[in-house]
Structure 1
Amino acid sequence: MVGNRPIRIAGCSGSTTDRRDAMRLLASNYENDPIDVFAGDWMSEGNMTVRAGSKINGQMDAYEPTFLEALEPALPCIAKYRIKVAVNAGASDTEKLHKVVQKMVKGRGLNLNVAWISGDEVLPQLLESQRRGESPFENICTGEILGDWKFEPMYAQAYLGGLGIAAAFEKGADIVVCGRVSDASPVIGAAYWWHKWNRSDVDKLANAFVAGHLSECSSYSTGGNFTGFQHLESLGWENIGFPIVEISNSGEVIVTKNAGSGGEVSVDTLTSQFLYEIQGPWYYNSDVTAILDNISFEHISANRIALRGVKGALPPPTTKVGITAKPLYQAEMHWFITGLDVHAKARMAETQVRILLGNHINNFAHLEFQILGSVPDNPTNQNAATVDLRIIAQARKAEDLAPAKFVRPCIDPIMCAYPGATPHLDLRQAFPKEVYEYYVTLIPQSKLLHRAHLQSGESIDIPPPSNTKTYPKQQPTQDVTANIRDLSSFGATVRAPLGTIVHARSGDKGSDCNVGFWVRYQDEYAWLQNLLSVQFMKDLLAEEYKGGRVERFEFPGLKAVHFLLRDHLDRGVSCTLSVDFLGKNCAEYLRCRQVDIPLVFIARGRI
C-alpha cells in the first residue's frame, strides 16, 4: 500500500512531558482508525541543554526516558499492525537509546527492526571552522559573534532534516530513533519514503514540512493551548485528541484527529499551532523552505481541515545549531505579600535583602526581585489578595549561591520586614542548581555527517542538498499595513481587553519571541491590520518592551498579523530569569491589555 494512498501520520508526542499513553491508545485502535507512522517530538531547546550536560558529566543517560514509557506498552500493536515509528527522543545519546530499544523489542520477542540517526553532534566541526575563520557564527537572535560570547561551548547540536529517516524506512527499519532532527523532520521523512519523492519535489516537501509543524506539538492542533478553549469543555477537554496528518502523493494535506477523542481540529486550532514558533513568511528546514505568504486552511467537514497555499523553495545551505555552554548556577527564594501597598512592601524587602547580601552581590551574574501577580480591588478571599515576591540569582560558581551567601540573607529580615511578611517554607529552589547558557547560530549543511545506521550494521550516508538558496538574513517586515483605513471608520468603540474578540498565540525560539493574532471575520481583520502596527505593539507591550527590534508580517489567508520580538526572552528557556520561560504567556498578557474595540464586533460575542 505504500505510495498508493495518502500516508496517515499521528503526532503522538510534543514534549518530554506529554501524555505517555498516546502510542498505545492509537495503536490499539488501529482496526477502527489506522495509522501508518507515529511521529514524536521529545526535543526542545530546554532539554537540549540539560541532556548535553548529562552527556558531558556522565551522571545519567542523555536520551529521553519518557519515550520508553510511551513505546513499551504500544510495542505489541506496533508489531502486529506494522506501524512505523520515527522520534527525536535520542536527545544527546541516540546510539544508547537505540540499544535500549533493541533490547526492549528482543525482550518482548517481537520482530521489529530498529535504526538510529547520527550527525547532529557537531561541536568538533564548529570549533574547527571557528579556528579556521570560516564563519563568525553569528547568533541569529542577538547578532552576537561566537568569539565574543563570554561562555565556553561544551556541546553543539545541529538540526537535521528527514531524509535519514526516509532512508532507514526504505531499508526496512520499523523504528527510527534520532537526536536533534528538526521537529517536523519525522513527518517529512515518512512522507518522502512513503511516496518515493525526490529532493526536487519542493512543493510536496514544503507541504509535508508544514504538516509536520502542525502535528509536532501533538494536542496543540486539537485544542491544547488554544485561546478559544472555553467552548472545548462541551467537546471533551478532559480527553483532547492527537493530530493525524494525511499527506497525498501530490503533497495535499488534510489534518484530522484520532477517532473518539475530545477537543477539535478546526481552522482556529490549526491557525493557533501554525503561528506558534514561526519567524515570518519564510520557514526553513534542512530539506526545503516553505513559503507561507498565501497559506490558508479550508474546512472540509467536522474535524477535517485542508492545508492550502503553501509553496516550496530550495533549502538554505545552512542549518540551525544550538550550542550549550558550561553551566551557570541558579537559586531562587519566594516571599508572599498580601493586601495593600504591594510595591512599597516589595521595595522594603529588596532593600533589606540587598544590605544583607553585602559585597557578595558582586559575585552574582544576575539578580532580580520580581513581583508576580497583583491584588484586585476589594478582594473577597486572601489568596486573591496575595502576590509572590520572587528573588532569583545566577552565578558562575555554585559556592557563590551557597545557603550562607544567598538564602540566609534572603530570609533573615523576617523579623524586621513588611507587615505580614511570610517566606515560602519550601526552600528547595533556594539551593544552587545547574542552568546552561545557550547560543543559536547556523552551520553549513556540508559540515554535517548525516548518517542512518541500520540494525544489520550497515550505514547510509545522507549527503547535503546539492541545490540550495541563500536567503536574506532578515525576513520581510512591514511596520504598518498596506491596506490603510482610519480606525474611526469602524464605528463607535468600547474599551475592552484585546482578547475579547482576538485570538493569539506566542512561543519561543532562542531568545526571540513570536506572537500571532487572528480574528473571525474579514471586517475584523481589516481593523486588526490597521490597529496592530509595530509602534502599537511596542505600546501594547508597555513595560515588557525592552527596546528590541520588532518585525511584523500579515497572513491574509488566516486573517492574522504576526510579530517577531527579537531578543525578548532573556537568553531563552535554558537560563532565563523569567517565569514565562517558553514565551507562551506573552500572547495571554497582550490579550488582556485594553484597547478600543468597535461595538459592532463586540456585539457578535466573545471568542
Structure 2
Amino acid sequence: MASSAVPSSRSSRPIRIANCSGALTDPGILMYNQAKYGPVDVITGDYLAEVSMAGSAMQHASNGTGWIRSAFDGIQLSLDLINEKRIKVVVNGGAMNPKGLAEKIHELIHSKGYKLRVGYVEGDNLMHKVHHLLSNPLPHLDGANPNVQYDKDTTSFLDSPEEMPIVAASAYLGYRAIKKGLDEGADILICGRVSDASPVIGAAAHWYNWAESDFDQLAGSLIAGHLIECSTYVTGGNFSGAYKHPHSDFLRLAPGIAEVLPSGECIVTKHDSLNGFVTPDTVKSQFLYELQGNIYLNSDVKADISNIAIVKESKDRVHVSGVKGYPPPPTTKLAIFYKGGYQCEHLLNANGYATDHKWDMQELQLKDTLKEWKILDKFDVLDFQIIGTPMKDPDSQNASTTYMRIFAQSKDRDVLTRLHKAWHYQFMAHFPGMHYSMDTRLLTPKPFLGYYPAIVSQTEIEETVTIIGDSSAEERIRHLVHPPKKTEPLSPRENYETRDPVPLENFGPTVNVPLGDLILARSGDKAGNINIGLFVQTPEQWEWFRSFMTKDRLRSLMRKDWKDWYFLERVEFANIYAVHFVIYGSLGRGVTSSSRLDNLGKGFAEFIRAVHVDIPQKFLEETARSSKLEHL
C-alpha cells in the first residue's frame, strides 16, 4: 500500500519525467529540448556507462574535474527554462566528483540571480576502503551460480595489487538520497554512481511521498526509469525494426518521457513536437535491453517483471503495467576497475582469390616468429579475427576485401611492442595482395582497464545528500541516508525451457529465411555477459516461438561463436511474447578489456536475426500484410 501522506495537489495527476541522456556523448541540447517543447515536472539524465566511472576517476586524479562535461552543458543551456518552469533536475553526471559539479552549477545560478537550490549525492565512491573490503574477497556478481565460469584473468588483479592497481570502486546507489534531497528543497541534484533508474524512482517517490515499503510502486517506477534511461533507445534508437521506417524518421530523435502513475505503472511517451516514435515494439525492445532474467535488481527494490504488460494507449503513448515489487537484497553492485595491462591491434586487408589461405598463412607466419623469439606464451590474449566475407563475383575491389584484426593484450608493454616488430620481420614474405592502413595509432600499446563486478553489503556505504545554501556556497546541510530497513536474500535466478512445447510441424509449411524476417530483438552487455531478448507479435506466433527458441536453438544460431564453457539462462515474458537469454562469459572481463569487436554486445541480436531458420510460411505472410497496413 502507498504511504498515506500523499500531497493532494501533486498526486492528482501523474508525474511527468523526461530523460535527457543515456551516455556522456549525448549533447546538452537534449536537456534543453526536453525543458522547452512541452510540460515536464522533472528532467533526469543517465550519463554513466560502466566504463565512464573509471575514465572519470583518472580525469579527477589528473585535473580535478571528474564530472561529465555534457551534463554541465545541458544544465547551462537549460537553466533559464528550469528556473522559469520550476523544473526539477536529477542527473548522475557528477560521476567521481558530484560535489565539484554541484558547486560549479551553484556559481552559475548565483551569477544569474536565480533562487534555485543545488544538492549533491555522495557515498558511492568506496576507493578509501576497497582494499580493506577485498581482504576478504568480495563475491563476484555472478558468484552465486556454480555453473558460471569467468574469464581466466577475472580475479588476477587480486593477486597483483601493485602491478594492477585499482583506479575506481563505485557502488550503485538507489533512490533514497535523491528523495531526501528533493524533500529538503533541492531543485537540482547532482549524483555520482546511482543506478541508471534511481533518478526516476527518487523523483516519483518524492512526488507521491512513497514509503520505503511501497515495493510495488517503487518497482514500477524502477522499470519506468529503465525504459527511458537510454536516451533515444525507446524512441527509435538502436531499434531492430528500423528497416521498416524511412531514414528520415531517425533524424534528431528526442529522448523518452515517463508519466509515472500513483500505482507505479507508467505511460512511455515523448514531446509531440519532437522527432521519434514510441510504439509497443520500441518499448519492448528497451525493456529487454540489459536484463538479467525475470528479476530486475536495484538497491531499493526487486522488481518481478515476469508478468509485465506493454500495450499501446494511443499514438506515441504506451502503457506499462504488471510489475511486482519485493524488498531489495542486502547488497548492491560494486564496480571495480583496475589497470589490467596493455593492449594493441593490427589491421590487415586481403582481397580477391583464396582469402582463407591468405589468413591462415599470415597467422602461422606471425606465430612462428613470436615462438622463435620465445615470447609467444607471454601474451595474455592473442586473437586473430577475420572480419567480413568477400563478395562472390565481386563488382569492386572493396567488395572482395576482408580484414584481419590481430588483438593482443599483455601486462608487459614490451611484449606488445615486439608483436609489431615480428610482423615487420617477415613483412616481405606476405601473402599475395596484402595491404593495410598506414595509420599506426592502433599498433601503439595502450593501457586498458580490467573490470571486476563485485557485490558489497549496503551497510558498508555511507550515503549522503548535501544541500548548498541559496546564497552562499559555504552554507551546506548534509543529510545521512540509512541503508534499506527491510531486505531479503536473493534467490537463484529462474532458468527454464518452455512448458508444454508444441510440435513445430503443427504450424504448417516453412520457408528458410533470416530469423529477423519475423522477430525483433535487442542485446547488450552486463559485465562479462551478453543478454538478448527476442519477441514476436501474435498469440499463435508465440506458441511457435516459445517452442522453437530453446537453449539448444540459441547455441546452434551462435554457430562458431558458441563456446562449451559458456552458460545459458533462459526465461519467458509471455505477455509480450518474448524469450530472454543471458550468455555468461562471452565478453570476457567486460567492455573495457573484451577482445570482441562488438565489445558492448549491441550487435549480437542483429547477428542472430540474420541467421536463416525455417519459419512457418503463414507467419511471414501475416508480417507482410501487417507491414503493408502500417504504411497505408
TM-score interval, normalised by the smaller of the two chains: over 0.9
CA contact (8 A) 1:498 1:592 kept: yes
Q: Secondary structure at the match of 1:239?
A: coil
Alignment partner of 1:367 out of 365, 372, 382: 382
Superposed CA deviations along residues 147-185 of structure 1, whole A, max 9, x for unmatched, are 984553343111000111111111111111111100000
The equivalent residue for 1:594 is 612
Superposed displacement of residue 61, structure 1:
2.9
The equivalent residue for 1:187 is 200
CA distance in 2, matches of 1:380, 1:69: 47
Q: Does residue 88 of structure 1 match 2:107? A: no
The equivalent residue for 1:299 is 312
TM-score, normalised with respect to structure 2: 0.91
The equivalent residue for 2:177 is 164
The equivalent residue for 1:469 is 488
Amino acid aligned to 1:585: G
Q: Unpaired runs of 5+ in structure 2?
A: 1-8, 470-475, 628-632
Superposed displacement of residue 71, structure 1:
2.2
CA distance in 2, matches of 1:124, 1:46: 20
CA distance in 2, matches of 1:235, 1:355: 52
CA distance in 2, matches of 1:233, 1:122: 47
The equivalent residue for 1:524 is 541
Alignment partner of 1:13 out of 18, 21, 33: 21
CA distance in 2, matches of 1:103, 1:379: 61
Farther off after superposition, 249-258 or 576-585:
249-258
CA contact (8 A) 2:28 2:77 kept: no
Q: Does residue 551 of structure 1 match 2:569? A: yes
Alignment partner of 2:467 out of 454, 457, 469: 454
The equivalent residue for 2:597 is 579
After superposition, the Cα gap between the structure-2 partners of 1:100 and 1:389, relative to the gap in structure 1 and judged at 3 Å, is same
After superposition, the Cα gap between the structure-2 partners of 1:355 and 1:102, relative to the gap in structure 1 and judged at 3 Å, is farther
After superposition, the Cα gap between the structure-2 partners of 1:576 and 1:60, relative to the gap in structure 1 and judged at 3 Å, is farther
Alignment partner of 1:376 out of 391, 395, 398: 391
The equivalent residue for 2:407 is 392
Superposed CA deviations along residues 22-56 of structure 1, whole A, max 9, x for unmatched, are 11112222xxx11111111111112223223334x
Superposed CA deviations along residues 388-444 of structure 1, whole A, max 9, x for unmatched, are 211111121334333xx2333334544321111101111111112221110011111
CA distance in 2, matches of 1:401, 1:69: 39
After superposition, the Cα gap between the structure-2 partners of 1:151 and 1:526, relative to the gap in structure 1 and judged at 3 Å, is farther
Amino acid aligned to 1:530: S
Q: Secondary structure at the match of 1:236?
A: helix
Amino acid aligned to 1:393: A
Q: Secondary structure at the match of 1:496?
A: strand
Q: Secondary structure at the match of 2:11?
A: coil
The equivalent residue for 2:122 is 118
Superposed displacement of residue 362, structure 1:
3.5
Alignment partner of 1:62 out of 49, 62, 66: 66
CA distance in 2, matches of 1:257, 1:530: 36
CA contact (8 A) 1:206 1:311 kept: yes
Alignment partner of 1:140 out of 125, 139, 142: 142
The equivalent residue for 2:524 is 507
After superposition, the Cα gap between the structure-2 partners of 1:147 and 1:354, relative to the gap in structure 1 and judged at 3 Å, is closer
CA distance in 2, matches of 1:46, 1:148: 17
Superposed CA deviations along residues 449-486 of structure 1, whole A, max 9, x for unmatched, are 010011031111111111111122x31110x2103110
The equivalent residue for 2:419 is 406
Superposed CA deviations along residues 186-239 of structure 1, whole A, max 9, x for unmatched, are 000000111111111111111100000000001100111111112332772113
CA contact (8 A) 1:3 1:194 kept: yes
CA contact (8 A) 1:333 1:424 kept: no
Q: Does residue 272 of structure 1 match 2:285? A: yes
CA contact (8 A) 2:141 2:453 kept: yes
After superposition, the Cα gap between the structure-2 partners of 1:151 and 1:47, relative to the gap in structure 1 and judged at 3 Å, is farther
TM-score, normalised with respect to structure 1: 0.94
Alpha-carbon RMSD = 1.9
Q: Secondary structure at the match of 1:384?
A: helix
Superposed displacement of residue 584, structure 1:
0.7
Superposed displacement of residue 60, structure 1:
6.0
CA contact (8 A) 1:151 1:326 kept: no
The equivalent residue for 2:232 is 219
CA distance in 2, matches of 1:603, 1:556: 23
Superposed CA deviations along residues 238-285 of structure 1, whole A, max 9, x for unmatched, are 132221100122323111012222221111000000000110111110
Superposed displacement of residue 139, structure 1:
4.2
Farther off after superposition, 500-509 or 350-359:
350-359
CA distance in 2, matches of 1:151, 1:385: 46
CA distance in 1, matches of 2:200, 2:43: 9
Superposed displacement of residue 364, structure 1:
2.4
For 1:29-108, list aligned pairs within 5 A: 29=37, 33-55=38-60, 57-59=61-63, 61-108=65-112
The equivalent residue for 2:553 is 536
Q: Does residue 342 of structure 1 match 2:342? A: no
The equivalent residue for 1:26 is 34
Farther off after superposition, 140-149 or 329-338:
140-149
Superposed displacement of residue 94, structure 1:
1.9
Amino acid aligned to 1:275: L
Amino acid aligned to 1:584: K
CA distance in 2, matches of 1:234, 1:579: 26
The equivalent residue for 1:254 is 267
CA distance in 2, matches of 1:150, 1:515: 34
CA distance in 1, matches of 2:273, 2:167: 47
Q: Unpaired runs of 5+ in structure 1?
A: none
CA distance in 2, matches of 1:438, 1:127: 15
CA distance in 2, matches of 1:249, 1:521: 31
Superposed displacement of residue 297, structure 1:
0.7
The equivalent residue for 1:489 is 506
CA distance in 2, matches of 1:105, 1:414: 61
The equivalent residue for 1:242 is 255
Superposed CA deviations along residues 109-147 of structure 1, whole A, max 9, x for unmatched, are 43322111111012344433443x4x6523427566969
Give the length in aligned residue pairs: 597
CA distance in 2, matches of 1:4, 1:106: 34
CA contact (8 A) 2:205 2:218 kept: yes
CA contact (8 A) 2:53 2:168 kept: no
CA contact (8 A) 1:136 1:147 kept: no
CA distance in 2, matches of 1:146, 1:460: 36
CA contact (8 A) 1:510 1:571 kept: yes
CA distance in 1, matches of 2:167, 2:317: 45
CA contact (8 A) 2:138 2:455 kept: no
The equivalent residue for 1:331 is 344
Amino acid aligned to 2:264: G
Superposed CA deviations along residues 71-94 of structure 1, whole A, max 9, x for unmatched, are 211111111111111111122222
CA distance in 2, matches of 1:250, 1:136: 37
Amino acid aligned to 1:598: P
CA distance in 2, matches of 1:395, 1:386: 30
After superposition, the Cα gap between the structure-2 partners of 1:233 and 1:61, relative to the gap in structure 1 and judged at 3 Å, is same
Q: Secondary structure at the match of 2:613?
A: strand
Superposed CA deviations along residues 281-325 of structure 1, whole A, max 9, x for unmatched, are 111101111111110111110011101111111111111111111
CA distance in 2, matches of 1:136, 1:37: 36
